[in-house]
Every structure is written in structure tokens, then in C-alpha cells.
Amino acid sequence: MSYTYVAPTLTEDNVIFQLINNQLTVLLVKRGKEPFKGQWALPGGYNAAGDTTTDAMKRVLLTKTGIKMSELRFVEQLYTFDTVARDPRGHAVSVSYMGLCRDLEPKHTASTENPVFVPVKDLPELAYDHASIVNYAHERLQSKVNYSNVVFALLPDKFTLTELQSAYEAIFGHKLDKRNFRKKFLSLELISPIKKLKREGAHRPAQLYAFNKQGLQILTRSFE
């Protein structure tokens, strides 16, 4: 069988989230070529023979947005879509990944105009089926923050409880009760206060916290 085998086009698409001004944003690029020239799209591209899907992700991200994969604090594969090919051949298979980061500035690169983080609440029309991929990623993130500490990847190393709560609110898209949030989150024993306060603005300084462990932890008792 294998001697006549021809593989379908394999592509790779990325949903990179970041919190900016207490808003959840996603990294988009403006396509410089047909198809969908001039439209906003997720940064994505071809996955060539010899490259694993993470190799492809690394290359695509760097080429299209100037972001190094090592700058992402959390990466997870999402789903593999049967989709429209990037070229006129028609059908393609596209593996999508979600990445979480903080404080990243995408760079203008040769192959794309204007990589930029756009608030998820206010997305422009996207090329291909990318709107549904963003949606899928957002839902995954929402459920993941519920049963893990993955929010660490979107926060600075030292953060206040208000910043933490605000991250959850940005991800869920709704407000949470301050006292209940603090009580519940502290009971998970994922974070501890550090010997430092955040002094900023004309108000009482805030206790800073840090996560107890680096990396992903899965909770038995879910959050929200």
C-alpha cells in the first residue's frame, strides 16, 4: 500500500492567548497572500515531511509573528480539523495548538503584516474556519482553568489576588464574588503569600502571591 501512498496537505494553526489590560487577547496576523489576502487569521502554515507538529508550530510562530515557542509558558494541542487547504488543492488536515503567554510583543516579519493581540470579545471576521478554532480554544481554556492551575501561564510570577481574580473574570467573561473567590482559591493550596506587598496607587497595598509549584497541576476538586 505505502508505495502508492500520497499524504494530504498537513497544516498547523495556533491560538496564542495573552492577558492585556485585564482582557483576554488572541494573536492574529493579517494575511499577505491569497487566499483570504488582507484578512485577519490565526498564525498558521504548512507542516512538512520530517517535521513533527511541534516543529511546525515552532517554525510557523517564529516566521509569522517573531515569537519563539520557548516564550510560551504553556502549550497544548487542541484538535485536528479537516479544513480548506491554504492552496487551491482543496482539502487539508490542520492540527491546532493553544499557547499561553504574558508580556509578549509580536514582531512584524517578512511573511506577514501586523501580528497583533486582539481582544477575544471583539474579534474581526477571520479567514478559513479560524473563528471556530478560536472559539474551541477559548472553551478549552475556560474548562482548563477550572480543574488546573493553568492560569499561572498568563500571570506574572508575583501577583495579587485581585489580579488573579481578574484573570479568571477575563477568561470566563463574567464577574466573580471577591470573598468567595479568595476563600475557594486559597483553599486549593496552589499559591502562597510572599514577603512583599504591591504598592501602587492611592490605596491600601496588596499582598503578593506566587504559585507553590512550577508547571501544570491538575485538581481533583474543580474550581468554579
Partner DNA sequence: ACAAAAGTGTTAAGAATACACCCATGT
Partner DNA sequence: ACATGGGTGTATTCTTAACACTTTTGT
- Binding string to DNA for residues 200 to 219, with x set by CB under 7 A, is what? -xxxxxxx------------
Least distance CB 77 / its own copies (angstroms): 6
For the bound state, the minimum distance from the C-beta of residue 189 to its own copies, rounded and expressed in Å, comes to 22
| Minimum gap (Å) between residue 200 Cβ and its own copies | 38
Residue 213 contact among DNA, its own copies, none, beta carbon within 5 to 8 Å by kind: none
Residues with Cβ within 8 Å of residue 198, at least 6 apart in sequence: 158, 160, 205, 206, 207, 208
Binding mask 134-163 for DNA (x = CB under 7 A): --------------------------xxx-
| DSSP assigned state of 19 | E
Q: Which does 202 bind (CB under 5 to 8 A by kind): its own copies, DNA, none?
A: DNA
- Residues in contact with its own copies, shown as a per-residue x/- string from 14 to 53 under the rule CB under 8 A: -------------------------------xxxxxxxxx
Instruction: Give the shortest CB-39-to-DNA separation in angstroms.
Output: 37
80: cell is 485536528
Judge contact between 40 and 126, C-beta under 8 A. Answer: yes
Q: Give me the least distance between CB of 60 and its own copies, in Å please.
A: 11
178 scored as a contact of DNA (CB under 7 A): yes
Q: Which three cell numbers stand for residue 20?
A: 492585556
174 binds DNA (CB under 7 A): no
Q: From its own copies, DNA, none, which one binds at residue 6 (CB under 5 to 8 Å depending on kind)?
A: its own copies
The binder of 9, among DNA, its own copies, none, by C-beta within 5 to 8 A per type, is its own copies
Q: How far is CA 135 from the centre of its chain?
A: 11
Strands of 206-211's sheet in order across: 159-160, 206-211, 191-198
Residue partners of 100: CB distance under 8 A and separation at least 6: 16, 17, 18, 72, 73, 74, 75, 141, 150, 153, 154
All three cell numbers of 158, joined, read 508575583
Binding site for DNA (CB under 7 A): 160-162, 177-180, 182-184, 199, 201-207, 221-222, 224
